[in-house]
Structure 1
């Protein structure tokens, strides 16, 4: 029997490699890397819901809706979150039941399908905003409307296994002006320090009141530690929207951005007092022609990405030398630049998907999703959901889990 020639060996090797590649391409997990859940508002009077869309500009399915689950009219699903082990998907909502668990499965084509929407009993807490899942089996939810009062707000602590409410954290400004929760939106935690922080943003009706503080909470006792002013004065209604307590390999600074101020503020951690020092402004958006600072994300590159709704930009910062916040680049976006998700295209380009819409507010409601190369700043594609589908994107998340390294 003759030994196979080198040409035969090479041919067999290529055939095997192609078969392996084909099998890999058919793997649902590979397909899902560029598929995203998108919360949406229906502009035609129909039901709001959550859909799955392909966002790789290099894919033949780019901008196509692959599955769609309606939740209900006026629900306004608002923020998508995976739980800690990334096996459960949740969305908060500004209307309806305010908080939902989304049961999902994957079809034979590798597309995720949400087959059941389960409302969670919030026990009177209204207008769910942000969620943070803890290591000890809880998740905390900010409720901007509290339990319906004019100057209200609450944080609900839930059992992450059963979705049962454990505790409602409240504190009225009238009872203690140094320790209160008002219109909470953003939430972040440093679990090593056992500290949580929430922002005071705006009354849910967008007219009855505006906040200008952040409030620190003890994670063990659920007690309010201190409320910090994030403004030039008590009369400066800056509206802090998100907060990020840096953790893991980062030094424990607190960052917050102001919706109406359009600024970024920072507070250092005080080891002796086991709390944060007063906030200081580190970036004034107006000086750069920017307003409505909305989101903080840290991507796999360990850089900080901050979205600005007006005129629609994403600023990228080096945070390796805090408290110095070093601006590296500015990425293009559209009016209402808001939530982000990070992924690689089929050819390996590093991309940020930017959801451009905030509550359908004038000049903040482009209704698009932009795909931008984070290294070159090149706009690789744009999905015009408003005009193509009659839908407004409200938030975005990966189908395989959190599409970022750190978010709030």
Structure 2
């Protein structure tokens, strides 16, 4: 009888121990709360990519489990998955400007960074945004172009082998009414065969600024129209991101202006297969907001827009466009920028907000805020500046894209 009791007790202890181990290392759970971040080193070490735990409900909140160094001064900038979410890439402001990142899973299913393969971008410099299409191409904006004072270009790549197919250039010197200059944001509507890029700012942040968005034919690469996205021709608003709404959403183009601090909108015109003029739909200064940056749509179809100054995320209803109805305002930290959506261990729906913009003073908190979507409560903050001597540059899920639509 005593022997049987001891066996039962031993089995119970084994079950409890196993459950505890599974609770800490459950593959499904760990993939949901682990994120990739591009980072900039502040202590002279190489910049790179890291895997970080962002669930404030677990003991290792803020722990970095894997790092991949890319090099000093590389400044990795935006992380993307390909069209099928099988391969991962990061753009960079320095170094080789574009890298494919090899990852693996450890025995617990957690993401691990393995190595980076530089991709030849030709004469194109200062890599910004990517967009993958379903026909085996991807498009990349190069804010520096070939390096001129009013340069900028779009690279077209073969997604199967990463070969540069074409460089799209349209200098403002050749045609001041239809041009590509300092392109940063990019968005594509494949059904309509349209692509739009923003004109933001020269990479040195002083030589020149833009105030337009340019629409191109997705297949011929010809410019269809360049739009003013500013109060006047002399208002250097620096449009930074553009989003061509598609699928189930009303067919509009949205743009954020970095220096304007606003959100602009343009309706799709089926007769011309272009967009009509942009108009301002939200003025950040009326709420003390500036440096409007990223736009994300979550699984419920709400629009989230980050304002780096003073560090807010505004949530909008998209169901009554061209009117944007403000639903909620979340407080992050100065430099509020990229976002990622996930659920905590207890099932709370949250957004992780990366708070840093190019290490610009007063916009470089160097933190990641975890905010509950239903209440707006800040559940936790990871201070990467203080803890690791680095600044987060962007964020993406280790289990695929962490938003419904980004651009």
Q: Is the 8 A contact 2:103 2:112 kept in 1?
A: yes
Within the alignment, does 1:63 sit opposite 2:83 as a pair?
no
Q: Which residue of 2 aligns with 1:388?
A: 387
Q: Is the 8 A contact 2:26 2:108 kept in 1?
A: no
SS of residue paired to 2:386? helix
Q: Which residue of 2 aligns with 1:203?
A: 202
Whole-angstrom CA distance in 1 between matches of 2:60 and 2:138: 35
Q: Is the 8 A contact 1:36 1:396 kept in 2?
A: yes
Q: Which residue of 2 aligns with 1:372?
A: 371
Distance 1:20 1:226, change over 3 A: farther
Report matched runs for 1:221-240 at 5 Å: 221-240=220-239
Whole-angstrom CA distance in 2 between matches of 1:335 and 1:92: 23
Once the 2 structures are TM-superposed, how far is the Cα of residue 117 of structure 1 from its aligned partner? 0.6
Q: Is the 8 A contact 2:131 2:140 kept in 1?
A: yes
Question: If the length of structure 2 is used for normalisation, what is the TM-score?
Answer: 0.94
Segments of 5+ residues of structure 1 without an aligned counterpart are: 1-13
Report matched runs for 1:138-153 at 5 Å: 138-153=137-152
SS of residue paired to 2:382? strand
Whole-angstrom CA distance in 2 between matches of 1:22 and 1:276: 56
Report matched runs for 1:202-351 at 5 Å: 202-351=201-350
Whole-angstrom CA distance in 1 between matches of 2:291 and 2:321: 23
Q: Which residue of 1 aligns with 2:354?
A: 355
Once the 2 structures are TM-superposed, how far is the Cα of residue 24 of structure 1 from its aligned partner? 7.0
RMSD between aligned alpha carbons? 1.7
Distance 1:60 1:309, change over 3 A: same
Whole-angstrom CA distance in 1 between matches of 2:87 and 2:283: 38
Whole-angstrom CA distance in 2 between matches of 1:70 and 1:259: 30
Whole-angstrom CA distance in 2 between matches of 1:201 and 1:33: 33
Q: Is the 8 A contact 2:38 2:395 kept in 1?
A: yes
Q: Which residue of 1 aligns with 2:33?
A: 34
Q: Which residue of 1 aligns with 2:83?
A: 84
Once the 2 structures are TM-superposed, how far is the Cα of residue 19 of structure 1 from its aligned partner? 11
Once the 2 structures are TM-superposed, how far is the Cα of residue 319 of structure 1 from its aligned partner? 0.3
Q: Which residue of 2 aligns with 1:6?
A: none
Once the 2 structures are TM-superposed, how far is the Cα of residue 233 of structure 1 from its aligned partner? 1.1
Q: Which residue of 2 aligns with 1:132?
A: 131
Whole-angstrom CA distance in 2 between matches of 1:281 and 1:345: 36
SS of residue paired to 2:285? helix
Once the 2 structures are TM-superposed, how far is the Cα of residue 18 of structure 1 from its aligned partner? 8.9
Whole-angstrom CA distance in 1 between matches of 2:67 and 2:386: 17
Q: Is the 8 A contact 2:100 2:116 kept in 1?
A: yes
Once the 2 structures are TM-superposed, how far is the Cα of residue 20 of structure 1 from its aligned partner? 11
Report matched runs for 1:107-186 at 5 Å: 107-186=106-185
Show structure 1 runs of 4+ deviating over 3 A.
Answer: 17-27
Segments of 5+ residues of structure 2 without an aligned counterpart are: 1-11
Once the 2 structures are TM-superposed, how far is the Cα of residue 27 of structure 1 from its aligned partner? 4.3
Q: Is the 8 A contact 1:354 1:371 kept in 2?
A: yes
Q: Is the 8 A contact 1:212 1:236 kept in 2?
A: yes
Q: Is the 8 A contact 2:57 2:345 kept in 1?
A: yes
Q: Deviations over 1:105-151 (max 9, x none)?
A: 11113221221110000011000000001011111000000011110
Whole-angstrom CA distance in 2 between matches of 1:91 and 1:29: 24
Question: If the length of structure 1 is used for normalisation, what is the TM-score?
Answer: 0.94
SS of residue paired to 2:306? strand
Report matched runs for 1:40-51 at 5 Å: 40-51=39-50
Whole-angstrom CA distance in 2 between matches of 1:18 and 1:352: 32
Q: Is the 8 A contact 1:24 1:30 kept in 2?
A: no
Q: Which residue of 2 aligns with 1:4?
A: none
Report the count of equivalent residues: 394
Whole-angstrom CA distance in 2 between matches of 1:131 and 1:373: 29
Q: Which residue of 2 aligns with 1:11?
A: none
Distance 1:229 1:390, change over 3 A: same
Q: Is the 8 A contact 1:339 1:396 kept in 2?
A: yes
Q: Deviations over 1:154-202 (max 9, x none)?
A: 0001011100011111101121122110000000011111101000000
Once the 2 structures are TM-superposed, how far is the Cα of residue 23 of structure 1 from its aligned partner? 9.4
Q: Is the 8 A contact 2:214 2:227 kept in 1?
A: yes
